[in-house]
Structure 1
Amino acid sequence: MKVVFSLSTDADLPNASIDRIGYDPEFLRTSVTLPVLDAEALQDAVLWEGSNVIPYTHFSLSLSKSRRLARWVAWNIDGAAIKRLSRSGLEFGKDLRLPEEFQSGNELYQGNRLDRGHIARRADLVWGEAAQAQQANEDSFFYTNIAPQMDDFNQSSQEGVWGQLENALYEQVDVEDLKVSVFGGPVFQPGDQVYRGVGLPSEYWKLIVFKEGGVLKARAFLLTQDLDQLRVALALDEFRVYQVSVGELEQRTDLEFAESVRLADDLVAIRAKARVPLSVIADIEW
């Protein structure tokens, strides 16, 4: 999807009027379409120009009205065109194309230990021509791409298995054309604790799709965090990363992924064995 529009935010992100290309389903030269929402989730989706798919630079997302967070974010990574750009001077802001009441902004994060966790990593998005990469850098800071995470969880996970999944892929796999498509987001559960009017997710998921030797592959991961102590002191006990099947991911998220993705989930061992936490990058089965 290619669109042209002007954006501004309540955090003074630069105004822009350039071509913004959202998630590209043909990025891997094999169709990897966006997740499909079930009927209930579709009714809950914030619409932009009649669509539940909201485009940004190199990523797109679907936003939940009731949860005020993205249900999923989809992004493309061109490893051969990554730029090293600073985040200096960039601030988080709400997307003024969308109703403010459906976005969780700074009011959720003030005066506590909640961090603003990027769903689509900023480092994954800053590729392409200089202007495009810079716009992606800025777009990554919209609150629609942010989810609440405990500060010690977010900061430690950046150097742990969860924060290094994409890097580990490039290090351990001969990725065709260095191109990867990724999906991720929170797992919404009825029992999620409500804090300042927002249900805080206790699980997050990520699905990485790539080609190796001309073969499409899909690898799914689940992160769980214990927020039971939030009522007392906003303290995180522990988080764990698991490698799971695409089928299990669909069950947990109520999303339907493309048939090409389900077929690319070829790790029979993952589906057959009990899940155990990934302790180190080397535990991942690519």
Structure 2
Amino acid sequence: MKHKYSAIVFLIFFFTFSLKAQDYQKEINHLEKEILKLGIKKDSLNSAVKNLKLSILHEKLEKFGLPKYEKDVEIVSHPALILSYNEKHEQANWVAHIISKEITGKGFSRTNDFRPDPLVKTGSTEEKDFFIKTMKPDGTYSYDGFGYDRGHLAPSADFRWNKEAMSESYFYSNMSPQLPNFNRGIWAKTESFLREYVAENNHDLYVVTGGILTDDLPKVERSIHKESIPKSFYKVALDTEGDTLEGIAFIIPNEGSDYPVISFAVPIDSVEKITNINFFASLPDSIQNIFEKTVDIKHWQTKNRKNNHKPVSRHK
């Protein structure tokens, strides 16, 4: 009888506890739903803030960052980058963008969503201009490459703070045929060089990039659009947020190199003479002369690159 009584007491206690536990669980479920809603709202607000920041950068780029161009030149404007498309060479004359100080925060991974640019009226290059992709019987793919990477002009990592902006960097209008040892070597190092500068100085940086396009360039013969293969590429950059206006440019052959990035540095004027492009054309000549005639190598070297001196032998 005693055991039976104890069992009844336990059941009553357990039932009472279960009711309380159910109430607790309901409250937990409610709070977890609220947390989820807040998380979704936070993500939405963060996305809205990043897109507004991108809009500000786009307006700055339009106002200060574009080269001079003629009315008959096709200008393609995306939120993250603006480019001048050259139908003859089937690639951009130049691509302008801003490396934002936002890159110092948590970033997105590569999207790798390569695709034709729908805003290029004459049609941009596409996948078949760089390799042939064939499905095998087992469902996997074989790749027959033409010997060139799909080389970014405005690099995807410059936009890692904004997923939509990064995705835009994968338009084929932002690609040029680059030898693998160039694209994955000295070119990638040059891109990192400028990002490191932005991160260390906490300054936005105007950047314009392109291949040096001339009439005698070879073509990718197996491609469907027969795009030109630049012998060299250039990149120019302008920092307007320091105590003085500072500019730097690079001219780098489309080949592998073991030289440090800074050894390819030249004044912006040097690139203008070779390409016949007037960079940062909205600024008065008197202002352009401040940062285009010379380049202060020491200013652009970040702390971990201070010992990278410009070798004389490369220019002989």
Q: TM-score range by the shorter chain?
A: 0.5 to 0.7
Q: 1:21 to 1:239 in 2, by over 3 A?
A: farther
Match of 2:150 among 116, 120, 142: 116
Q: What is residue 210 of structure 1 aligned with on the other side?
A: 239
Q: Kindly report structure 1 stretches of 4+ aligned residues shifted beyond 6 Å.
A: none
State whether structure 2 residue 170 is matched by structure 1 residue 144: no
CA distance in structure 2 between the aligned counterparts of 1:266 and 1:164, rounded to whole angstroms:
24
Letter in 1 for 2:209: G
Query: Which is greater in Rg?
Result: 2
Q: What is residue 13 of structure 1 aligned with on the other side?
A: none
Q: 1:269 to 1:135 in 2, by over 3 A?
A: closer
CA distance in structure 2 between the aligned counterparts of 1:269 and 1:219, rounded to whole angstroms:
8
Higher helix share: 2
Task: Confirm or deny: 8 A CA contact 1:208 1:219 kept in the other structure.
Answer: yes
Q: What is residue 35 of structure 1 aligned with on the other side?
A: 67
Higher strand share: 1
Q: Equivalent residues in 2 for 1:128-139 (5 A)?
A: 133-139=162-168
Query: Which consecutive residues of structure 2, in runs of 5 or more, have no partner in the other structure?
Result: 1-50, 132-144, 298-304, 311-316
CA-to-aligned-CA distance 1:20-75 (integer Å, 9 cap, x gap): 74964636xxx6341013x5xx64x33xxxxx2x1223211111111110111111
**% same residue:** 22
Letter in 2 for 1:36: K
CA distance in structure 1 between the aligned counterparts of 2:307 and 2:265, rounded to whole angstroms:
11
CA distance in structure 2 between the aligned counterparts of 1:281 and 1:189, rounded to whole angstroms:
35
Letter in 1 for 2:238: V
TM-score, structure 1 as length reference: 0.68
User: More deviation in 211-220 or 258-267?
Assistant: 258-267
User: More deviation in 141-150 or 56-65?
Assistant: 56-65
State whether structure 2 residue 189 is matched by structure 1 residue 155: no
Cα RMSD for the two superposed structures: 3.2
Q: 1:219 to 1:33 in 2, by over 3 A?
A: same
Query: Which consecutive residues of structure 1, in runs of 5 or more, have no partner in the other structure?
Result: 1-17, 47-51, 128-132, 226-235, 271-278
Aligned residues: 226
State whether structure 2 residue 113 is matched by structure 1 residue 91: yes
CA distance in structure 1 between the aligned counterparts of 2:307 and 2:291, rounded to whole angstroms:
21
Letter in 2 for 1:112: F
Q: What is residue 103 of structure 1 aligned with on the other side?
A: 124
TM-score, structure 2 as length reference: 0.62
